[in-house]
Amino acid sequence: MVTEKNKHNEIVKAESKDLNFFYADGTQALKKINLPVYENKITALIGPSGCGKSTFLRSFNRMHDLYPGNKYEGEIILYPDNTNILDKKVDPIEVRMRISMVFQKPNPFPKSIFENVAYGLRVRGESNKRMLDDKVEDALKGASLWNEVKDRLHDLAFNLSGGQQQRLCIARALATEPEIMLFDEPTSALDPIATVNIEELMSELKKKLSILIVTHNMQQAARISDYTAYMYLGELVEHDDTNKIFTNPSKKETEDYITGKFG
C-alpha cells in the first residue's frame, strides 16, 4: 500500500478530493475542496462566518447524514485503507467509529461522568466492568480531567464547570481511540483559562492522532496548528504551513483576512 507524503515527509491521514456539498434547500456550501489532513498534526480551518468550515468539518463524520436531503459530491479518502468515507456503501456509523468529534458547546449527556466517557465503548458492545473502568480512566487522563473527577465519577456531568465539561466531551471522544478527532470551535463557549487548557490538551493529543479544528479565533489557529486552511464562501482559498499562512500568505485575500482588513 502506498502511503502519501508531503514535502516534509509527513503522512497524509485523510484527504478531501473535489468535495462539493449541497444542503437540502439546494445551496452549495462547499465548492471543490481539496485538502489533506496530516497524521499527528493539527490542521486548522479559518474563515469568516458562513464560509463553510463547519460544514466541511461535519462532512468528516457524516453528520450531515442525520438530516434528509443533504448531498455530498466528491470524496474524502481515509488512509491507510483508502476508504472513501462519503461512499454511500460506507455506513456513516462505521465512519463515526473511526473519526470522533468535539462540539462547539460542551454537550455532555445528562448522565454520570463515568457513563459519559463509557458511552462510546458501550455502543461498541464493551460491557466488561474492568475494561470499562480502565478505558474510562485512560480517556479521562488523556483529557487531563482525571485528577479533578476521580473521586466523583458517578456525579452528574452537569455539575462540572464549562471547561471541565468540554474536557469531558474530549474524553468521551477519546475513549474510543479514534484515528482523527474533529473540533468544531471547541473553545468559543469557554473562558480564557479553560481555553488555554484545551489548547494544551490538543497539542498533547496530536501525538496519538490527527486533528482537524475549526476556529473563529485566528490567534488560536496560529498558536496550536501545524497547517492552516483559509476558506471563503465555500471555497478553499489557501492551505499551507501555519507559519507561512500567518507570516507570508501567497494569496491577497488570505492576507486581508489575517491582518483584519476584512472579516
Partner 1 sequence: MALNKKKLSALNDLQTIREMIKRHKKNDLAFAALGMFVIASLTITLIVLFLDLVLDGYPKFTLDFFGNFPSRRAARAGILSAWVGSSLVLIVTFFVAVPLGIAAGVYLEEYSKKNWFADIIEINVSNLAGVPSIIYGLLALGLFVYSFGLGQSILTAGLTLALLMLPIVIVSTREAIRAIPVHIREAAYAVGATKWQVVINHIVQYSYGGILTGVIIGMARAIGETAPLITIGALTFIAFLPPSPVTIEPPFLNLEWLNAGFTVLPIQMFNWISRPQHAFHINAAATGAVIIILTALMNGAAIKLRYNIRKKIKW
Q: Does 123 bind partner 1 (CB under 8 A)?
A: yes
Q: Does 100 bind partner 1 (CB under 8 A)?
A: yes
Q: Does 63 bind partner 1 (CB under 8 A)?
A: yes
Q: Does 146 bind partner 1 (CB under 8 A)?
A: no
CB 256, CB 250: distance < 8 Å:
no
Nearer to partner 1, 173 or 205 (CB): 173
Distance CA 125, CA 111 (A): 19
Q: Does 158 bind partner 1 (CB under 8 A)?
A: yes
Closest among 3, 38, 32 to 20, alpha carbons compared = 32
Number of residues that bind partner 1 (CB under 8 A): 27
CB 172, CB 139: distance < 8 Å:
yes
CB 19, CB 229: distance < 8 Å:
no
**Residue for grid cell 460542551:** 106
Nearer to partner 1, 123 or 233 (CB): 123
State the nearest-atom distance from the C-beta of 187 to partner 1, in Å. Answer: 16
Which range in 14-22, 117-125, 134-142, 195-203 contacts partner 1 by CB under 8 A? 117-125
Q: Does 212 bind partner 1 (CB under 8 A)?
A: no
CB 24, CB 70: distance < 8 Å:
yes
Closest among 13, 37, 54, 41 to 205, alpha carbons compared = 41
Q: Judged by CB under 8 A, which of 110, 147, 192, 260 binds partner 1?
A: 110
Q: Does 61 bind partner 1 (CB under 8 A)?
A: yes
Beta strands in the chain, from DSSP E residues, in sequence order: 12-22, 28-38, 42-46, 71-78, 83-84, 99-102, 180-184, 210-214, 227-232, 235-241
Nearer to partner 1, 110 or 260 (CB): 110
Beta bridge partners of 239: 229
- Distances from the Cα of 105 to the Cαs of 12, 13, 63, 121, 166, in angstroms? 29, 27, 16, 22, 8
Nearer to partner 1, 39 or 115 (CB): 115
Per-residue contact string for residues 75-94; x = within reach of partner 1 by CB under 8 A = ------------------x-
Q: Does 189 bind partner 1 (CB under 8 A)?
A: no
Residues of this chain that interact with partner 1 (CB under 8 A) are 61, 63, 66, 68, 93, 96-97, 100-101, 103-105, 107-110, 119-120, 122-124, 156, 158, 169, 172-173, 176
